[in-house]
Structure 1
């Protein structure tokens, strides 16, 4: 974060001088007037220059991107990150040679990274935004796999009439399962059980 103290004959002149030195636009900084200055008596006695302090505003997206970039580049120096900002939502897409390391088992590393970036962004932002991170086409492939898994389980429950407990999943993946089974059969119901990392979906046959 850049900051500088600048002087000038007037406040406006001091601000202009500071902006040139810090190489930022006025809307990108917070300005504090340290001394309004004094023209002095007859422009000679007691003359004092204006003093202002310019501090670069904290850009939540910029800081979150830098944080993500630092972690990703430590794993894959050649990785590329692209961000997209929408209303109340920011998405990051990562491509690289070591995507499997950044995704982790069943996306655990990816989701942990997503949580950390969310915390960094919201720490510096005055408005909440939902952060999502995708690496390669992992999310699309994972959703397709979950839908197939849900339908396979649904058919099993319809056949046996016995409930089935699925593997633990994060909330976003459980939602995919809930939605898929709800659309697949009205004879089935789903519920989430347990807490924390053990929370999972249960598929039941309606009596």
Structure 2
């Protein structure tokens, strides 16, 4: 199991860190391996542990929510949907991020392995993924037309990964610059 929680790989050149998108060609619409494989079973177990933990939290907070467990792109994914769960998302997803880390810790406590589990609440991450994918595509088109590099606002590693992937799908290269928490994506024009 990968011990990294960041969703990008990093290449170090001099003293600058440049994020590179992870190749996802094998991930599109597929499970990490065949159903019933040890890796899928491990990810399903992570999802079950996470769901139990989150169910207890919902009970303590007296909130109604339905849990959906899945294995997506080589990681466990748990979604909570319900009437009004905006307080579990928080401003700009800050509460969601904290809950995801707590849930990963709960999985770690049970399995002894670090988890890359993704948590979504009321479709917040799914909507954000759609917006960031569109942003990556639009920025790539602008860079193709202008021939000039474009810098985006600072983003989390999760957000940068989505943009990197969208830019790569559009046929251009992107990199991350800056220092956390102010790292941002730069879309580069095609080289001749």
Which TM-score band applies after superposition, normalised by the shorter structure? 0.5 to 0.7
Task: Measure how far apart 1:143 and its partner are.
Answer: 1.8
How many residue pairs get matched? 146
Q: Comparing both chains, which one has the higher relative contact order based on Cα–Cα distances under 8 Å and sequence gaps of 6 or more?
A: 2
Query: Does the residue aligned with 2:137 lie in a helix, a strand or coil?
Result: helix
Rounded Cα–Cα distance in structure 2 between residues aligned with 1:202 and 1:74: 43
Rounded Cα–Cα distance in structure 1 between residues aligned with 2:105 and 2:144: 42
Rounded Cα–Cα distance in structure 2 between residues aligned with 1:89 and 1:160: 38
Contact in 1 for aligned 2:47/2:70 (Cα 8 Å): no
Contact in 1 for aligned 2:129/2:162 (Cα 8 Å): yes
Task: Measure how far apart 1:199 and its partner are.
Answer: 1.7
CA RMSD of aligned residues (A): 2.9
Task: Measure how far apart 1:101 and its partner are.
Answer: 2.4
Contact in 2 for aligned 1:81/1:94 (Cα 8 Å): yes
Q: Give the strand-richer structure, 1 or 2.
A: 1
Contact in 1 for aligned 2:176/2:185 (Cα 8 Å): yes
Rounded Cα–Cα distance in structure 2 between residues aligned with 1:175 and 1:201: 9
Task: Give the TM-score, by structure 2 length.
Answer: 0.62
Give ranges in structure 1 of 5+ residues lacking alignment.
Answer: 1-58
User: Which contiguous aligned blocks of 4+ residues in structure 1 show a shift greater than 4 angstroms?
Assistant: 59-64, 73-76
Give ranges in structure 2 of 5+ residues lacking alignment.
Answer: 1-44
2:182 is the counterpart of 1:198: yes
Contact in 2 for aligned 1:76/1:96 (Cα 8 Å): no
The partner residue of 1:184 within 138, 147, 170 is 170
Task: Measure how far apart 1:70 and its partner are.
Answer: 4.2
Rounded Cα–Cα distance in structure 2 between residues aligned with 1:74 and 1:166: 40
Which 10-residue stretch deviates more, 114-123 or 102-111? 102-111
Higher-Rg member (1/2): 1
